[in-house]
Amino acid sequence: MDKEIIGLIAGTLTAASLVPQFIKSIQEKKVDVSPIMFVLLIAGNALWTWYGIKLESLPIIVTNSFGFVMDGLMLILRFKYGKNT
């Protein structure tokens, strides 16, 4: 199997791991996770995306961009539905 395909599959599975939590958060209108966690994940995904751009690596760019968006959406939901702590 080509290394690009392996990278895309691995990155997609990792980035998609947040999708079930995102769906659950919308359905239950509850997010019980520290917003700092999402800030750190957003920063990490942004840096991974930048790194992927520097390497011209499509798997790194695509999957970490998706992760960046998902983490950003979860952070928005956290402030919308989360506890005021």
pTM, two decimal places: 0.85
The 10s digit of each residue's pLDDT in 21-78 is: 999 999 999 988 889 999 999 999 999 999 999 999 999 999 999 999 999 999 999 9
Structural domains in the chain, CATH included, are 33-85 (1.20.1280.290)
Q: Determine the Cα–Cα distance for residues 62 and 20; give it in Å rounded to an integer.
A: 19
pLDDT of 8:
87
Q: Are 70 and 19 in contact (CB under 8 A)?
A: yes
Number of H-type helices and E-type strands within the chain: 4, 0
